[in-house]
Structure 1
Amino acid sequence: MDLPKKYLIFLIVLFSFAGLYYISLYNYLLFHTLIEGFTIVVACCIFVIAWNSRKFAENSYLLFLGIAYLFIAGMDAIHTLSYTGMGLFLGYDSNLPTQLWIIARYMESFSFLVAAVFIKRNINPGLTFAGYSIISIILLASIFQFNIFPDCFIEGVGLTTFKVLSEYTISLILLFSAIILFKNKNEFDPKVSNLILIAIMLTILTELTFTFYIDVYGFSNMVGHFLKLASFILIYQAIVITGISQPYNLIFRDLQKNEKKLKEENELKDLFTDILRHDLLNPANVIKGYTDILLENEKNENNLKILKIIKKNNEKAIEIIEAASQLSKLENTDSLGFEDADIGVIFKKVIQNFKFTIEEKNMKVKFIADGIYCARINPLIEDVFVNLLSNAIKYSPDGEEIIIDILDAGSDWKVTVTDHGQGVSDSDKQAIFKRFKRANKGGVKGTGLGLAIVKRIIELHDGEAGVEDNPKTSGCVFWVTVKKSTYSTKSEQKPG
């Protein structure tokens, strides 16, 4: 807030207080009604703001106070209507508005105290409403129905001992509430917590001024109402104005805080993943090395069979560790750096790396794309092609053919890998791109992470990944899309 605006607000408040003071000299009942009316409106506004931001806030402190202030406003309204001179409650003297004042202040002080319990936990709004409704009915009945609420003011004598002790008790409760709030101030917007703390202090001063007046129209009564007005102005500034003009400070503060916490947890998870990967891979690689040595020197067929099983499962463990580590890092990555490259060249390189595996299964890989396919990609795209080709080889019968093509899809290139394997059921087509979700593959082992890695890398490329049935025979077509580079050219365009 700039300086001129601060001065303007200060002058408005100053002249308002001066005007109210002169009104109190002319007509104290009007003065009392104006101040109480303003604080009632503010209390209702606190409820409206707190209630409408409840879905966004993890901290239920303000929501609890908002509900409480709705009922406090109700008590203050009856207190105002019953004040000496209003003439609405016949047969009652100044004791009635004083009793209602004490009830409202007890409700306010205990609400601040109980609200502290919900700084770090949620409340049930329905139960809170029901609780305050029951308490309000019981307290009002104790005055109007059963006449058992202690007297607070005696005409010609002044305040009763109960009233004075109650004001001190309320002040102590408010002080404890302020201490708890101060200890948990980091859970709030700094401006909000500071204003509420000052408001509580002013409320304590308010209660203390109401411990020694004799006349309900007296000077200390007037000072007490000025202090109450000041405290409600601060609460208004803290919650109502901030909640309307700067809603992100209240409604989304918890979201911002959770985002920061999540970022810290992700960094810790990355560190844990790196440590875990290192500590798991080291013994796994040791096992691999010794197994290879034993396989070279072992002559016993039964022992060789056992060693091969050990080697195969150890290699699977290494594959899972590497895949889990990669997926963990990808999930915590928001963006990648891109460069222009020919994805056709990259995929041909991947095929070459699988040459031994392809020959071992007596398979053929047919790359029918025939041109230049420039795309905006990150080097991680190679992992996508590795996973797609690896799956096609793994899940296709020996001797089958795998077809790889790159199609023109407008602003994208659509890379397809067609196999002649068992295929994927419609119910599994979405699930297989989630981690550890695998279709029924008739005993073929996998990590359940490969396609999850594919999907995440493609998402970071602003592309899509999917699977369809092979339209010509059994098997399926896995496909991904990547963005073309701005100067993409191709000798032959094939629509996707």
Structure 2
Amino acid sequence: MKQNFLLFHTVVELSAIVIAFAVFIVTWNTRKIIDNNYLYFVGMAYIFIGTLDLLHTITYPGLHIIPGTIYYTNQFWIATRFLEASTFIMGFWFLKRKKVLNGDVTILSYCVVTILLTLAILYWKIFPVCYIEGVGQTHFKITAEYVIIAMLFFAGCLLYSSRNSFSASVFRFLMLSLFFAILSEFCFTLYVSIFSLPAEIGHYAKLISFFLIYKANVETGFTKPTELIFKDLKDNEEKYRTLTENLPELIFRFDRSFRCLYANYALEQFLSLKHGCYTGMKLSHLGFPSSFEHLLIKMLIAVKQTKVTQETNFDLNEGKYANSFSIQVIPEYGLEDHEGTYLVICYDITDLRITEHRLMELNNTKDKFFSIIAHDLRNPFTSLISFSELIYKNVNRLSPEKIESLAMRMNDSAKQAYILLENLLHWSKMQTGVLKPDLQELDVVELLNEIKHISSSTAVAKGIEIKIEELPSARIVADKQMMSTILRNIIANAIKFSYTNGSVVLSAYDRQDEVLFSVMDSGVGIEKKNMELLFKADSSFSTPGTQNETGTGLGLRLCREFVEISGGSIWLESEPGQGTTIYFTIPAQGVSFNKDISV
């Protein structure tokens, strides 16, 4: 019986040792591609676990390979199981680390520990005695077995909490391996003789435990590498697929026959069917607008022929669609050319194109204004330079009356330049959003009288009378400087287009929650086709006055913007030869308004 058990023990242990060495060999040769630090660490440690198990085998009583009165085999058993349980626990610390495990350091560390344990048992003889002939297991041995069981149970808890780091089959194999290791240790707490039945059952459980480690580390590593080595890669693929599915851009993949291999969820917002219905359909059957479809086919053909990424911007205005896209068609090639696919990414740049178009309009308007102003500024400054030079060179020969006349004309030119520059300053502030209304209550009577006084000098010089009629009882809420600019520009226009000895009539009326202002002249009037051009921001329409006065047309456009910012509206009525009346409204006191003041 003793010889049979000896043979049984030797066969079981050598089988376990072979498995342990096989686990190490596979782990070592796959260390550059294995991406699970737990399996990497455990696999590296198993050559040393197998080495200690080999020493446990050859020191077994009856083999007489290493003689002695101490049962070294039990000491090696405890040392090996402690090392194995510690390995199962420490592996989870490396599992949480993103950095790849250093295999050389791991081997060196385990080599040192294995040598120290071997010396402690065989040479220094300081390892506690575990078995006494005729007595059985020592208290240290039994206590150590229970400690190892607790360690293995703790490793099982850690494995369960980290189950998402393993494929389902690997997790199952590792959990079962820990179960049979615990069963093995429990059996070895029960026997009295090392040749007893509990010892035999314990060896069976250990063999099963090692076999399950083999299933997890060796067989799974060879037969199911995608589940073990590339599990993280699969997780990343799923993560990036989810990201692609939820991107707002249209993303497609076509094969060489232009059949749809993939389309993301954004397609549902663009076409009518569910995005999954398009898989396997040809591009011409997907239901794209014809212009969009023709462009994609053209780009795919170009990529297929040149193997170079194609990019373009496309404005889709067809049927219910009004979109702008930035389209990329990217060639994708596998190991063989016939496996090539094409990735199509369509970025919706509709808002960007609208903003770009608006900026171009604003820039063109700005260029046009500056061009007009640069031209019109030359006139008053040319007059100032000419008249001042004439006075400077002929001051002793000119009569006082002539000097007075020249000075008056210089003054008119200076005023013209000043008004133009002031309007330009206000307009530029409007465009940048710097100019904001300082709202206050204003008395309409005082406001009109003040503007009449300011404009009287220009009117008197041309022989025109300014009258005020129909004053309201209500007060308005507005910015005083803006109101002065509005009225001053409108009155200046009325004087400009009025004939000598004519009149300009200022009026204001109460009208519900606002005050209606009007400035009426008896001048040349405006043709109907030109009336709409006066207030347009992109128009440079301007005509000379009754005495050939020039202008830029900027003043009335500035008036429109100031009136709208103040919460009102502006318009005009005119007939050629019968004069013009310009109307605008301003909110009355007690009325609030909310206007976007950015232009």
Report the CA distance between 1:238 and its aligned residue.
2.9
Aligned match of 1:159: 137
Aligned match of 1:379: 295
Residues 80-107 of structure 1: CA deviation (Å, up to 9, x unaligned): 011111101122432x110000010001
Aligned match of 2:305: 412
Contact 1:337 1:378 in 2 (8 A): no
Amino acid of the residue matched to residue 14 of structure 2?
Answer: G
> Partners of 1:37 and 1:143 in 2: how far apart?
21
Aligned match of 1:248: 226
Contact 2:13 2:53 in 1 (8 A): yes
- Percent identical residues: 36
Contact 2:255 2:341 in 1 (8 A): no
Amino acid of the residue matched to residue 379 of structure 1?
Answer: L
Unpaired runs of 5+ residues, structure 2, are 260-292, 312-325, 334-339, 343-599
2:120 to 136, 142, 151: 142
C-alpha change, 1:73 and 1:458, in structure 2 (3 Å) is closer
- Paired residue secondary structure (1:168): helix
Aligned match of 2:95: 119
Report the CA distance between 1:62 and its aligned residue.
0.8
Aligned match of 2:44: 67
Contact 2:120 2:126 in 1 (8 A): yes
Residues 378-409 of structure 1: CA deviation (Å, up to 9, x unaligned): 73477899xxxxxxxxxxxxxxxxxxxx9xx9
> Partners of 1:339 and 1:413 in 2: how far apart?
16
Report the CA distance between 1:206 and its aligned residue.
0.7
2:26 to 49, 68, 79: 49
Contact 1:64 1:123 in 2 (8 A): yes
C-alpha RMSD of the superposition: 3.6
C-alpha change, 1:380 and 1:237, in structure 2 (3 Å) is same
Amino acid of the residue matched to residue 111 of structure 2?
Answer: S
Report the CA distance between 1:247 and its aligned residue.
3.0
- Paired residue secondary structure (2:194): coil
Report the CA distance between 1:71 and its aligned residue.
0.5
Contact 1:59 1:120 in 2 (8 A): no
Aligned match of 2:354: none
C-alpha change, 1:70 and 1:378, in structure 2 (3 Å) is farther
> Partners of 2:44 and 2:115 in 1: how far apart?
16
1:265-280 pair list within 5 angstroms: 265-267=243-245, 270=247, 274=248
- Paired residue secondary structure (1:88): coil
2:197 to 205, 214, 219: 219
**Quick check: which one's strand share is greater?**
2
Aligned match of 2:152: 174
Equivalenced residues, count: 290
1:231 to 205, 209, 228: 209
Report the CA distance between 1:128 and its aligned residue.
0.8
- Paired residue secondary structure (1:457): strand
Q: Which has the larger radius of gyration?
A: 2
> Partners of 1:379 and 1:247 in 2: how far apart?
43
> Partners of 1:414 and 1:170 in 2: how far apart?
63
- Paired residue secondary structure (2:36): coil
Amino acid of the residue matched to residue 206 of structure 1?
Answer: S
Contact 1:57 1:255 in 2 (8 A): no
Contact 1:47 1:63 in 2 (8 A): no
In the superposition, the TM-score normalised over structure 1's length comes to 0.52
- Paired residue secondary structure (1:109): helix
Does 1 or 2 have the higher relative contact order (CA < 8 Å, sep 6+)?
Answer: 1
Contact 2:191 2:199 in 1 (8 A): yes
> Partners of 1:194 and 1:118 in 2: how far apart?
20
Amino acid of the residue matched to residue 101 of structure 2?
Answer: I
Aligned match of 1:18: none
Report the CA distance between 1:69 and its aligned residue.
0.9
Residues 8-38 of structure 1: CA deviation (Å, up to 9, x unaligned): xxxxxxxxxxxxxxxx676111110000000
Contact 2:41 2:106 in 1 (8 A): yes
Amino acid of the residue matched to residue 45 of structure 2?
Answer: A
**Quick check: which one's helix share is greater?**
1
Report the CA distance between 1:108 and its aligned residue.
0.6
Report the CA distance between 1:133 and its aligned residue.
0.9
1:103 to 79, 82, 86: 79
Report the CA distance between 1:334 and its aligned residue.
3.8
Contact 2:131 2:138 in 1 (8 A): yes
> Partners of 2:134 and 2:297 in 1: how far apart?
90
Residues 158-188 of structure 1: CA deviation (Å, up to 9, x unaligned): 1111111110000001001111111222221
Report the CA distance between 1:197 and its aligned residue.
0.5
Residues 432-483 of structure 1: CA deviation (Å, up to 9, x unaligned): 999xxxxxxxxxxxxxxx9xx76x53559969xxxxxxxxxxxxxxxxxxxx
> Partners of 2:212 and 2:332 in 1: how far apart?
48
C-alpha change, 1:459 and 1:191, in structure 2 (3 Å) is closer
Contact 1:106 1:170 in 2 (8 A): yes
Unpaired runs of 5+ residues, structure 1, are 1-23, 275-325, 341-376, 386-405, 416-431, 435-449, 464-496
Amino acid of the residue matched to residue 75 of structure 1?
Answer: L
Q: Does 1:39 align with 2:16?
A: yes
Aligned match of 2:186: 208
Aligned match of 2:7: 30
